[in-house]
Amino acid sequence: MGNSEYLLEVKNVSKVFPGVKALDNVSFDLKPGEVHILLGENGAGKSTLMKVIAGAYSPDGGELIIDGQPAANLNPRKAQDLGVGIIYQEFNLVPYMNVAENIFIDQLPVKHFFRIDHARMHREAKEILASLNMNVPTTAKTMDISTAQQQMVEVAKALTHKSRILIMDEPTASLTDREIDQLFLTIRELRAKGMGIIYISHRLQELKEIGDRVTVLRDGKYIGTRNLAEVTIESLVTMMVGREVGELYERVDVTPGEEVLHVEKLSSKAVGLHDVSMNLRRGEIVGLAGLVGSGRTELVRAIFGADRHDAGQVTIFGENMKGSAPKDSVRNRVGLLPEDRKRQGLALILSVAENTLMASLDKIFPGGLVNARKEKDLVDGYIKSLRIQTPSGSRSAQYLSGGNQQKVVLAKWLATESEIFIFDEPTRGIDVGAKREIYGFMNRLKQKNCAVLMISSELPEVIGMSDRIFVMREGSIVAEVPHDEATQEMIISYAMGADVAPARRSAADGARPLPKADA
């Protein structure tokens, strides 16, 4: 073990991919006992830098120094041995194995030469989890525990490798506020033990709460490192985007028109929805707030016909959608922009053009033959009007950034001439610049008298954009809040239930709490 001041020094590292300079002369360092935040828009080079440090990519220039020792020719195994632990956004857990087995997956304790020592494995797993104040049963299968708990298991896994450097890629992306608090407690504990934590995040609100220092990257270049205590969030945003960002949410006023979507007492045992009633009118953006797991995604999937429901009625443009499948909803001018763009919104291997016209081939080419020229003209039109950053329509969708992928999904529904747009977490994993654009498109849809239903876990977003907000809890809608009365505290208290925040409930005078359905 070296006696350097730094756990990790990255000096002038570059990494080139065909056609892109992903990292251009980037430097970064990490001290023991600090949380160093890596900030930047998507495509800024954060992930590449992270993978270089973890040994997944070898840099084309520059050097890495770990514990004062130059670390050349890293590979993932070697980086792990040098004390680098990494928790990717997508966890590497085996769903059918239990928590303890996952924690010790690559170093299962053995007795009598080959028998797995279950007693010792669970005992040690419990010790590690307890040392982090983590409350996860070691015998539970990882597929049965919550996302937050899965993340804890990943942290514990990293600790078994005696990691001193822990890289976390957007660890709060799929956690609820309460789970985030728990995670931050854990991170502070790790910091107190002298670990260095590299924390990648998009959420500006949480930077000051958890970070000590922050390094900003932009377009693969190093922009600067600051002490978080000494900077404002606004100045960081300016560093990130290289320009001033004004108010993120801009509201346009449109008088709502006819009702286009009506949901009456919708229930589903399979996905846990109880007597949900709601509606949506032309010219409005309706927000669907609630904690992760409160049934928001399940509700919109049921509306869209992606999952069956057992009771209740969905009416779209006056048509009863009983027993409908997604194809019926699409025919009826509804478009769903799913939260998981990569797995549900796009076929990543296909081109931008193919994805854009995926839902409208029937409409545009009724004969079933795809006319290449017409296709190109149409797609180029969308690339231009939505400002999709891609060299051409024939580029595979997997190479686009999150924001541009979202635009392709939006283009898909514009191509079908949809009039009801359902956005599920429209800006998750999207950088600030693209966020603004997405909000702009939502407002434009509103002005064109389309109807927008938006699920969002970001309270400023849901309040900033919505004309009305439905709050869900445990599969039911518990409140409908008009825009001008909505506050973050009010929505949180509805979302979490009166027993969680009884004091805040009284603040919600203006809103109409809906009686909770009898379960």
Position among 325, 385, 485, 507 found at the interface with another protein (CB under 8 A): 325
In the complex with another protein, the residue whose CB is nearer, 171 or 338, is: 338
Backbone angles phi, psi at 14, to 5 degrees: -125, 150
372 near another protein, rule: CB under 8 A: yes
What does the angle CA 66 – CA 70 – CA 74 come to, to the nearest 5 degrees? 80
CA distances from 449 to 119, 175, 253, 256, 414 (A): 63, 34, 11, 8, 13
| Binding mask of the shown chain, residues 440 to 459, with x at each position contacting another protein by CB under 8 A | --------------------
Backbone angles phi, psi at 6, to 5 degrees: -110, 140
Residue with tokens 């002005």: 447
In the complex with another protein, the residue whose CB is nearer, 239 or 336, is: 336
Q: Write the DSSP assignment of 418-477 as a string of letters.
A: -SEEEEESTTTT--HHHHHHHHHHHHHHHHTT-EEEEE-S-HHHHHHH-SEEEEEETTEE
Among positive and negative, which fits the CA dihedral 52, 56, 57, 59?
positive
346 near another protein, rule: CB under 8 A: yes
Nearest approach, Cβ of residue 358 and another protein (Å): 4
Residues 287-306 within binding reach of another protein (CB under 8 A): 304, 306
97 near another protein, rule: CB under 8 A: no
In the complex with another protein, the residue whose CB is nearer, 358 or 492, is: 358
Task: Report the residue count for the chain.
Answer: 519
In the complex with another protein, the residue whose CB is nearer, 151 or 390, is: 390
68 near another protein, rule: CB under 8 A: no
Position among 1, 192, 369, 503 found at the interface with another protein (CB under 8 A): 369
Residues 383-442 within binding reach of another protein (CB under 8 A): 412, 416
| Binding mask of the shown chain, residues 4 to 23, with x at each position contacting another protein by CB under 8 A | -------------xx-----
How far is the C-alpha of 93 from the C-alpha of 240, rounded, in Å? Answer: 33
Q: Number of residues in contact with another protein, rule: CB under 8 A?
A: 32
How far is the C-alpha of 391 from the C-alpha of 70, rounded, in Å? Answer: 38
Give the Cβ contact number of residue 117 at 10 Å: 15
Per CB under 8 A, the segment of 217-225, 326-334, 429-437, 502-510 that binds another protein is 326-334
Position among 172, 182, 329, 406 found at the interface with another protein (CB under 8 A): 329
Per CB under 8 A, the segment of 103-111, 205-213, 232-240, 330-338 that binds another protein is 330-338
**Residue 55: left (phi > 0), alpha (psi -120 to 50), or beta?**
left
361 near another protein, rule: CB under 8 A: yes
**Do the beta carbons of residue 349 and residue 396 sit within 8 Å?**
yes
Nearest approach, Cβ of residue 62 and another protein (Å): 20
Nearest approach, Cβ of residue 401 and another protein (Å): 15
362 near another protein, rule: CB under 8 A: yes
**Do the beta carbons of residue 442 and residue 285 sit within 8 Å?**
yes
| Binding region for another protein (CB under 8 A) | 17-18, 304, 306, 325-327, 329-331, 336, 338, 343-350, 354, 358-359, 361-362, 365, 368-370, 372, 412, 416
